[in-house]
Amino acid sequence: MSAIREYTTDEVAAHNARDDLWVTINGKVYDVTKYVRDHPGGPDVLIDVAGADATEAYEDVGHSEDADEILEAFLIGTLKDARERTRPKAVRLIQPATPSPPVSSTKTKSSVRSAALATVSAGSVVLSLYFSCRSYSTLPASWPSFTGVQTSLGSLIRSPQTPFAFGGFYTGFAAATAISSAIGGIVGSKLSQMTQIKSGFTQYPPHVKRRRIVRSNPHLAKGFLDPKEYKSLPLIRKDTLSPSVFKFVFQLPNPQDVVGLPIGQHVAIRANVNGTMVSRSYTPTSNNLDKGVLELVIKCYPDGLLTGQHLANLEVGDMIQLRGPKGAMKYTKGICTKIGMIAGGTGITPMYQLIRAICEDATDLTSISLIYANRTEEDILLRRELDAFAQRYPQNLKIWYMLDHPSQDWPFGKGYVTPEIMKERLPSSSPDTKIMLCGPPGMVNASKKALVSMGFQAPGAVAKMSDQVFCF
């Protein structure tokens, strides 16, 4: 590759028209004239920064890896005396939480034992005095009479045959200690049970575990694709769906392999076209239920660098390079109950992927309302498959076709997708509703404005799963 040229700021500024548009990003100069028409955000976004430094605008939007790859195809040089722009790092302070001191069960038990021992000691002294006085007949008359104790132990203490008859006080102390120990042990045990705080798993009754069968989602299974590295696949079939639309079928290495693509995501195809490495992204119409193959429906524009000059000329046996999965959307059952879709032309491919996954899942009750716009009836892609799903699963899918040039007996809509058509054919705004858009930039931008006027939340510059209006 020849040495890259260096341009001055004035040289770049001279190319500031729609049909001659240069920009600089991070010190590199790009000629994006041929990309103005295809820019997802519309041509006005590029025209606003024509001939100027677009670094801040480009980074603030947060372009994806796909955009970075596309941009590299238009690189023509570097900017002289360019300054590197660094983004300040955000500083976040984290306050450590102060843990509360745990309650010690050992301390509680010790307190209970101490109380019990104090009870034993006090009882021993009192009973010792009692029995000592009784043995010498000096017990005051005002003291209470413990008949049972006096009869059984008192006689024992005064009996000549009793070995402990000497010294009434010591004998009484020994007897009192035995009695108090027994009483204190019982009292201490009961108090310990009453004051013990149950915690952790000990407070719950034992539970018998039952074996549960968990079925994995086949659409989340990993497969052939690699998100970081390009891999090659051979073309085994190429069907012409219309004069410029083809269905490409590529073969995976093994018959039981899956592509490994979550529903709603896409792949990037890369090719060397006339010495320039070009990359574009496409959504397969196949999924992980189709083992051994990867299917893509692509419209090949005559002036398209990748589609017109490369993909349109592919023959059976030729290899392509692709990687993935990529994209912000990863559909799973339950993210919403109603989905409204607006698609134009080949923008039907990501919609078809979702439609197929929802209809083929007997447990997915999500309701889909699709508005699909094309120029003529012959341009409607995947119509046979879409109509079959709508007929078989009417509770899941309702379709309204729109044509620019319909026949006289056309039973559906005519013209542009207007706000009135959206209100009539799409679900209204609610927390459980999502709208998905994919098609020409003009149609997508007009649809966004209309949906916002209908009460939907405007999407951000970068698509996120949480967006109420999601743009593929």
How far apart are alpha carbons 357 and 4 in whole angstroms?
47
Has 7 been annotated as catalytic?
no
> With contact defined as beta carbons under 8 Å apart, do 325 and 265 qualify?
yes
**Could you say which of 300, 359, 438, 471 is catalytic?**
438
Is residue 310 among the annotated active site residues? no
Of these residues, 24, 171, 177, 283, which one is catalytic? 283
Q: Which residues contact 46 (CB under 8 A, 6 or more apart)?
A: 21, 23, 32, 35, 36, 39
266 labelled catalytic: yes
Strand partners, 367: 338
Q: Is residue 349 a known part of a binding site? A: yes
195 in a known ligand binding site: no
Taking the C-alpha atoms of residue 351 and residue 378, their distance in angstroms, rounded to an integer, is 19
CA distance 284 to 258: 13
Instruction: Tell me whether residue 416 is one of the annotated catalytic residues.
Output: no
> Is 86 annotated in some ligand binding site?
no
SS3 sequence of 88-146: CCCCCCCCCCCCCCCCCHHHHHHHHHHHHHHHHHHHHHHHHHHHHHHHCCCCCCCCCCC
Catalytic residue among 15, 219, 266, 310: 266
The CA distance from 263 to 433, in Å, is 18
The reply to whether 299 sits in an annotated binding site is yes
Q: Which amino acid is at 233?
A: L
- 296: nearest Cα among 313, 283, 308: 283
The reply to whether 323 sits in an annotated binding site is no
Q: Check: CB of residue 339 under 8 Å from CB of residue 329.
A: no
Rounded Cα distance, 67 and 75, in Å: 13
Annotated binding site for FAD: 280, 282, 297, 299, 349
Annotated binding site: 280, 282, 297, 299, 349
The catalytic residues are 266, 282-283, 438
